[in-house]
Amino acid sequence: EHSLLRIRDLSKEEIFDILQDAMAFSCSQSDWQFPNKVLIANLFFEPSTRTHYSFASAQHQLGACVENFTAQGSSVEKGESLYDTVKTFESIGFDAVVIRHKKDEYFKELENINIPILNAGDGCGNHPTQCLLDLLTIYQEFNTFEGIKVAVIGDIKHSRVANSIKEAMDMLGGEVVFSGPAEWCEHDENYRDIDEAVAWADVVMMLRIQHERHADTMKMSKEEYLVKYGLTKERAARMKPHAIIMHPAPVNRGVEIDSDLVEAGNSRIFKQMSNGVLVRKAVIKRAMGYKPFDK
């Protein structure tokens, strides 16, 4: 059984296996499909565009049958629990489920599920496939993780992306620092002032303000946020010449990043999305018990 719940559940070797397999999906195994019938359900209890539809794209490309579940219109509206919902998918013949849910570590309730679960994001906890696509994007750029410096900037406190990339880069020999407003970013030993972080980093990873997870509304204007905590053109000009801009998206253009930088030459934001399909193909293939390409 090859569920993927948290990046920290993977060994270094397993991460490299997934990344190598993902890269093979862009060339030598681009046409690879399941030889048998595979049914996968995508259960999204929170909004998503990239994760949901790149999982669906990956599943279709692999020849799997795909069902997209939404709580609205399902028996969740009659009070059915997450466990009973997932157990139902298992019982009616599905081979794997992809789940996004607002509850941190929702998967702890699902220990008696006997089909693979692929975590598409749990609350402020984990987003392992996002982390893998981020790693793939970094690896394609630098050919290594050793010594690579990543500055994650923005709403760190509510970000499952920040947690996952920190865990992964610590394991792989990179360095991660955080920057952002004091209320959303602890000023501990990993904190850097934004100007220092931008000039230091090989990867400047900007994060969206997650208003949906905040109790209060933001007190400053969007323009003020950009100037104080965002990636402005002036700051971007002080990035190292080889450094890249990343963002998990969706992007609030003009808030955490100047709109013109989203598609700048050193931005990999849309590349990250394409890489999302490749890593999700690798993760789904692994979940179904197939070995990575060439192993």
With residue 65 as reference, give the H or E element that holds it.
strand 65-70
The encoded tokens of residue 69 equal 């579940």
Under the binding rule (CB under 6 A), the answer on residue 270 touching ligand CP is no
Q: Is 149 annotated as a binding residue?
A: no
**Closest Cα partner for 179 from 200, 156, 148?**
156
Under the binding rule (CB under 6 A), the answer on residue 50 touching ligand CP is yes
- Cβ atoms of 193 and 234 closer than 8 Å: no
Look at residue 287 and give its three-state secondary structure: helix
Q: Is 292 annotated as a binding residue?
A: no
Under the binding rule (CB under 6 A), the answer on residue 179 touching ligand CP is no
Q: How far is the CB of 210 from ligand CP (least distance, A)?
A: 10
Q: Is 241 annotated as a binding residue?
A: no
Task: Please identify which residue in 3, 51, 252, 275 interacts with ligand CP, judged by CB under 6 A.
Answer: 51
Closer to ligand CP by Cβ: residue 3 or 272: 272
Q: Is 70 annotated as a binding residue?
A: no
CB-based closest residue to ligand CP: 51
Under the binding rule (CB under 6 A), the answer on residue 249 touching ligand CP is yes
Q: How far is the CB of 121 from ligand CP (least distance, A)?
A: 6
Show the site string, 119-138: x = touches ligand CP by CB under 6 A, - = not.
Answer: --x--------x--------
Under the binding rule (CB under 6 A), the answer on residue 70 touching ligand CP is no
> Which residue blocks in the chain are alpha helix, DSSP H?
12-25, 50-61, 82-91, 128-142, 160-172, 194-200, 222-229, 233-237, 269-287
How far apart (Å, rounded) are the C-alpha atoms in residues 178 and 166? 9
**C-alpha angle 241/243/247, rounded to 5°?**
145
Starting at the earlier edge strand, list the strands of the sheet with 175-179: 175-179, 149-153, 203-206, 244-246
- Cβ atoms of 118 and 66 closer than 8 Å: no
Q: How far is the CB of 202 from ligand CP (least distance, A)?
A: 21
- The amino acid at 2: H
With contacts defined by CB under 6 A, name the span among 34-42, 83-91, 227-235, 245-253 that binds ligand CP: 245-253
Q: Is 130 annotated as a binding residue?
A: yes
Q: State the binding site for L-aspartate.
A: 78, 160, 208
Q: State the binding site.
A: 50-51, 78, 100, 127, 130, 160, 208, 249-250
Binding site for ligand CP (CB under 6 A): 48-52, 121, 130, 248-250
